[in-house]
Amino acid sequence: MALDLLFGAHTEPQAPRLLKGFPASPGVYEGLARVVREAAELPTVQAGEILITPATSPTFNVVLPLIGAIVTERGGALCHAAIVAREYGIPAVVGSV
């Protein structure tokens, strides 16, 4: 360990990566995140989790009442995730990059 400090390569710590998106439904939520890449993974979603997914579709409606928040890669103010999040009062950010 001490030798690593003396002879190891020193790298500068990187700043945390900042994601940006569009606020689709107001609110603040803190909880565990669940990444769901496709509808087949929906049975893994647990109550209270933050759903992180490329996009939602009507297939996702089964789990939306269970989750605490939604983050999607695609979408805008009128996408499925945004509309359903507002209906359920779930905080949501869409179009995250």
Is 10 tagged catalytic? no
Q: Of the residues 25, 36, 80, 94, which is catalytic?
A: 80
Q: Are 92 and 15 in contact (CB under 8 A)?
A: no
Could you give the residue numbers annotated as active site?
80
